[in-house]
Structure 1
Amino acid sequence: MDRQQTAETQPVAAEIQDLLLDNPDVEAFLTELARHSAAMFSVNNTAVHCGVTLLRRRTAATVASSSERALQLDELQYQFAEGPCLTAARDGVQVHIPDLSKDNTWPEYTDAAREQGIGSILALPFPLLDQSTKAGLNLYSENSQGFNQAAVQRATDYALQASKGLRLAILLAQHSQTATDLKAAMASRTVIDIATGIIIAQNRCSQAEAVELIKRASSNRNVKLRDVAQAIVDRAGGGPIETHFKQTPRNGSARGWAG
């Protein structure tokens, strides 16, 4: 990349960084990214519509779009199970159709897109490190030859810069989900421990025997272990259980989360 290209991508990188800071949620970030992309490539009073396709576990979905029209164009591809944007996301390749009236790569989709008033399409992959997740940026122009060579290069650089923000947004979402799962697990552990104590007191049995009774009831009733434990606590008059998280003092011998 030469100096001129570097200078051009720096403001884009800063804008995408700002989008991520303002929208740490993945879906909100991608929605703003789609709108930003559409505005960036709409020139000379020619509207460009943008969608973002996300592939996870072989299932495709539009997670963000700049307009209802972009969403419909993406959904058409999922109906036909083929198209430029799916190919870009799945195979990690750029797909440029300068004139839909002269392209027969995906005849059914091309005809449907033309009926929607689209003249050209540019689809680019987002380079992601997570192999289980693939994504693509879908740009639709109402004009044929809507993306010249300079626009294609700008879009390529743009997708590269945006992928960095997308990777970070996905990581933030994964860490947030991990923290949520950990708190849920600790909350379940708390109510199970209290239920175990109640059974020990009522039946004068060992902890292992009390836990086994809860597990057996869960299996026989086909009810989650936590729900069985909560029912035991409720019958004993304990009511809803709250799990309190606190951080140990900095000068303590141990640091971390304690329930």
Structure 2
Amino acid sequence: MAAESGHLPTSGQNQAPTPEQLQDLLLKSPGFDEFLLELTVFSASKLAAPEPMLCAITVERDGRPVTVASSSDKARQMDEKQYGFDDGPCLTALREGRTVLVEDLGTSARWQRYSQAVTNEGVRSVLAVPIDAGPSAAAALNCYALSTSTFGAANVSAVESYSASLSRILRLALRVHRLPAPQDGLHTALQSRAVIDAALSLVMAQTRGSREEAAKLLHEMARSSKQQLKQIANDILNGAALPDPSADGGPRQ
């Protein structure tokens, strides 16, 4: 594993999702953009402990980003700055097939322009890990943290293990769903993300919990009801009641 600050040792920590969880995401998604969006929100909630994590996934074909999905507006903005420069930790991880760790954006010489461009976003460190998407595409998971202490050796190893666990389902998704052209589908996916973002904000306001807790709740509701995440988000925005966290067998645990 290559990193800006040097090689980090691996650990036994493993936050990989189960194959059943990933298959559920794929089966519920009508298209590749929707699948990638739900996978990104799922990843952010899965990797959040012990600190908040913002996630984005990029899939590239023919040297250009074809599909981009972000777990939040802030993650999207961080990614868009990279595409503007056509350079950044995520694009480097994707194109060179190696892990890139930026422990402190404020002191990074390699990513100085990028750091200056995102200085108001509150993100302090970045971890970008490639995902093996097969011979015809490249992909990477980008994780943004709000502190410089998030990506210790154990956490880096856990994110690498998690990214490796996504390879099989991403390859399958690329075969099951037509990969959209750059101008197709992305608008729909962004609309879906906006609905999910709004629902997450509403859940946070109602429960006074974190974004990660809200994302976990939405995913548990989608899984228990066998509905798409966007539909659950729409229902919440239209006044659907949240499950009682004290009820036995409820989605919240």
For the criterion TM > 0.5, the same-fold answer is yes
Pick from 40, 43, 56: which aligns with 2:46?
Answer: 40
User: Is contact 1:98–1:121 with CA below 8 Å preserved after alignment?
Assistant: yes
Q: Distance in 2 between matches of 1:80 and 1:112?
A: 10
Unaligned runs of 5+ in 2: 1-11, 180-253
CA shift, 1:47, in A, is: 2.5
CA shift, 1:66, in A, is: 0.5
The alignment covers a number of residue pairs equal to 170
User: Is contact 1:119–1:146 with CA below 8 Å preserved after alignment?
Assistant: no
CA shift, 1:117, in A, is: 0.7
Aligned to 1:222: none
Aligned to 1:21: 27
CA shift, 1:171, in A, is: 0.4
Structure 2 residue matching 1:32: 3-state secondary structure: helix
* 1:149 aligns to 2:157 (yes or no): no
Higher RCO, Cα 8 Å, sep 6+: 2
Pairing 1:55-204 to 2, within 5 Å after superposition:
55-131=60-136, 133-174=137-178
CA shift, 1:91, in A, is: 0.9
User: Is contact 2:33–2:67 with CA below 8 Å preserved after alignment?
Assistant: no
Aligned to 1:53: 58
Unaligned runs of 5+ in 1: 176-259
Query: Pairwise CA RMSD of aligned residues?
Result: 2.4
Letter in 2 for 1:92: G
Q: Distance in 2 between matches of 1:37 and 1:14?
A: 15
User: Is contact 2:105–2:111 with CA below 8 Å preserved after alignment?
Assistant: no
Aligned to 2:182: none
Structure 2 residue matching 1:114: 3-state secondary structure: coil
TM-score, length-scaled by structure 1: 0.60
User: Is contact 1:77–1:109 with CA below 8 Å preserved after alignment?
Assistant: yes
Change in 2 beyond 3 A, CA 1:158/1:147: same
Larger radius of gyration: 1
Letter in 2 for 1:142: L
Decide which structure has greater helix share. Answer: 1
Q: Distance in 2 between matches of 1:135 and 1:71?
A: 16
